[in-house]
Chain A
Amino acid sequence: MKTLEIKNLHARVEEKSILNGVNLSVQKGEVHAIMGPNGSGKSTLANVLAGRDSYEVTDGEVLYEGKNLLEMETEDRAREGLFMAFQYPVEIPGVNNSYFLKAALNAVRKHRGLPDLDAIEFMQHVKQKAKILSVDPTLLSRSVNEGFSGGEKKRNEIFQMAVLEPRLCIMDETDSGLDIDALKIVASGVNTLRSPERTIVVITHYQRLLNYIVPDFVHVLSGGRIIRSGGKELALELEEKGYGSIEAHSEPQPAPTA
């Protein structure tokens, strides 16, 4: 079953066209990596999938579990089980992490027809996830991301992912700005969340994250299109030869005709 199907996706920011016909099909339970140089459209793709207003889709469609994703509000996408781990998690002073997570979790549960968790059930759920991911529970009493180091912010993203139990995770450059220890911690967090029920799309500039989160498929995004797809070896080839060689030798994929 397809979790995500992107067909001929075109998008722009202000007047600048960034995505120029992205095609991608992701089966349930798979881990896909999307790699690409700066300016290739990686973050635009992640933000379009999450529903950020400033990106305008000019053509194409995105199906999530068979539903038209682009018609959904950002919060409804999240409630339907889509989770984007932000490249730059936002600091929100004054909003307590625990309160925030509870509001988010109960919004997701309500959408699924489940009753709200009470304070005790919530704390049990959250503490269990914190334990699995080796997250310091004192983080819960702090304001969302406020004063967190880069590594703590990324860990907090993975922690939220664990708490909300999404079916599709989009990880937008989760490795950027992390030193190798922080990278290992974050990657092992993601690995504990891998499951046949959960689909993961890892967006990254560098191959090194993929040493720790081993993908089933690798795609190369360049000039707003996916110019090559392959297995995990493709990441190693990129590491060795650089994006330039692949860009030079690849024919753009033809856009599917309707």
Chain B
Amino acid sequence: MKVAEAEDVRFGRFEEFAAARAKVEPSWLRDRRRAAILRFRQLGLPTTREEEWRFTPVRSIATTEFEPATARSIPVTRAAVEPFAFAGLDGPELVFVNGRFAPDISRPSSLPAGVRVTSLSEILTSDGALVDDNLGRYVKFEQHGFTALNTAWMIDAAVVLIPKNLVVEAPIHLLYLSDAERPAAAHPRTLVLVGEGSAARMIESYAGPAGQVYLTNALTEIVVGANAQLDHYKVQRESTSAYHVSSTHLTLDRSAVFTTHSITLGGHLVRNDINALLGAEGTSCTLNGLYLAGGDRLVDNHTAIDHAKPHSESHELYKGVLNDRAHGVFNGKIYVRPDAQKTDAKQTNQVLLLSKDATINTKPQLEIFADDVKCTHGATVGQINDEALFYLRARGIGRDEARQLLIHAFAEDIIERIHIAPVRKALEQALLKELPLKD
């Protein structure tokens, strides 16, 4: 049974919320929320009977009474933000607390003329039509319960607009912070439009105080215009008691280059979806990921790359380190449509299991309808290499330190690909702190 109004009440009283929003928002947004909540009531949250959610039971989310994080406003100081800022990062930093823009603790920065890095509420007053045209255009809220829920309940959004032919050197940091004393649900939303011929770098961070139970249900839409480049990072440092569900919907125009690194360090139950549409010729899409989990945590990464047109390439490298009874899921779909000749797609998934009780379900899923393509995939699951361990010990390095060195090296392979030095350094530090994994 997929219910129903009773279920959406767990996330708050929608009618009250919608009525309040209608006073400050345009009618198109009100209509979209309404359509989304109706869709959510049809869909409910996914269950493990659905193929896409087979290994990821979200029952515990469905049975938790969440308070809408949006209904509360807890004063959050800059000090709460600092642990999740990247020391030395030079650029605008927009902080969203429980999904709502918090200008007082954000850090403005000068940007090239025409570039907008702002919140939905702000941009509605100046460029409402543009948001109307784009917000929700690249993701179908109908897709599953979480996307519908986000569309119905988002309180605000981060909006990044980069006009044509501009290079934005300063990395743009969007930091979504959760803070609630009782279980609360926040629905962070992000819209990024990179204009033709432009280049930018950005980080989406998700974080919350250790030990807190809350839900982050994030939805991001990214469009990279013709011949434009976006270097994107998603750094997830939620509480290890939190639920984190995110989906990123990406559209690449002709000759666009997109790279993302998805780093998962936190969360009790984590589900990340990336859906990439390589909708024009000559695009390049790189999806890299690293996840670490111990205890009873679950991390599920689903990626889908749709090669719709010829001459595009995609590269994908996901690495996971699992300890204790942690559970990893990786599902990598690659579609190559009949028109997409000369596609070059490579997918690699590697997992290091540190305990006998840790498990991984990994599934490459290639559906190829063109005949002149190059598609490869590989998955490896292994333990720490005994030969390497012996070699290090034979040079005087103790067993524990040698193990740590090898686990670290495995993960560092992803971290060293990060092009923004302050982010790379902060994550190197985080790795040193996290590894070896503990509960």
Contacts and interface: CB of A to CB of B under 8 A. Distances in A.
Interface of A: 50-53, 73-75, 77-79, 83-84, 86, 89-90, 92-95, 100, 103-105, 107-108, 111, 143-144, 160, 164
A79 B396 contact: yes
A89 B391 contact: yes
Given A92-B392, A100-B392, A75 B409 contact: no
A104 B393 CA distance: 9
A94 B413 contact: yes
What 5 A-B pairs come out closest when comparing CB atoms?
A94-B409, A78-B396, A104-B395, A107-B396, A90-B391
Given A94-B409, A94-B413, A95-B406, A86 B395 contact: no
B387 interface: yes
B394 A50 contact: yes
A75 B396 contact: yes
Contacts of B388: 90, 92
Contact of A100 (B390, B399, B405, B413): B405
B138 interface: no
A79 B398 CA distance: 10
Given A93-B409, A94-B409, A94-B413, A84 B394 contact: yes
Interface in B401-438: 401-402, 405-406, 408-410, 412-413
B210 interface: no
A94 B321 CA distance: 15
Contact of B412 (A75, A79, A83, A94): A94
Contacts of B71: none
Contacts of A86: 391, 394
Given A73-B399, A75-B399, A104-B396, A94 B410 contact: yes
Contacts of A84: 394
A77 B390 CA distance: 12
Nearest to A50: B394
Contacts of B390: 52-53, 74, 90
Contacts of A83: 395
A52 B393 CA distance: 10
Contacts of B397: 75, 100, 103-104, 107
A86 B393 CA distance: 13
Contacts of B409: 92-95, 143
A86 B401 CA distance: 21
Nearest to B413: A94
Contact of B396 (A89, A93, A164): A164
19 contacts: A51-B394, A73-B399, A75-B394, A75-B397, A75-B399, A84-B394, A90-B385, A90-B390, A90-B391, A92-B409, A94-B408, A94-B412, A95-B392, A95-B409, A100-B392, A100-B395, A107-B396, A107-B397, A160-B395
Nearest to B390: A52
Contacts of A51: 393-394
Contacts of A93: 409, 413
A134 to B, nearest CB: 22
A95 B406 CA distance: 7
Contacts of A164: 395-396
A79 B405 CA distance: 18
Interface string B367-403: 0000000000000000001111011111111110110
B318 to A, nearest CB: 16
A103 B408 CA distance: 14
Given A73-B393, A105-B396, 18 more contacts: A51-B393, A53-B386, A74-B394, A75-B394, A75-B398, A78-B396, A79-B396, A86-B391, A86-B394, A90-B391, A92-B388, A94-B412, A95-B406, A104-B397, A107-B395, A107-B398, A108-B396, A111-B396
A247 B406 CA distance: 44
Contacts of B386: 53
B273 to A, nearest CB: 28
B91 to A, nearest CB: 29
Contacts of B412: 94
Contacts of A90: 385, 387-388, 390-391
A78 B395 contact: yes
A78 B401 CA distance: 15
B405 A103 contact: yes
Contacts of A108: 396
Contacts of B393: 51, 73-75, 78
B391 A92 contact: yes
- Centre residue among A77, A104, A111 by max chain B CB count within 10 A: A104
Contacts of B402: 75
Nearest to A92: B388
A94 B411 CA distance: 8
Nearest to B407: A94
B290 to A, nearest CB: 12
Nearest to B401: A103
B402 to A, nearest CB: 8
A83 B394 CA distance: 7
Contacts of B405: 95, 100, 103
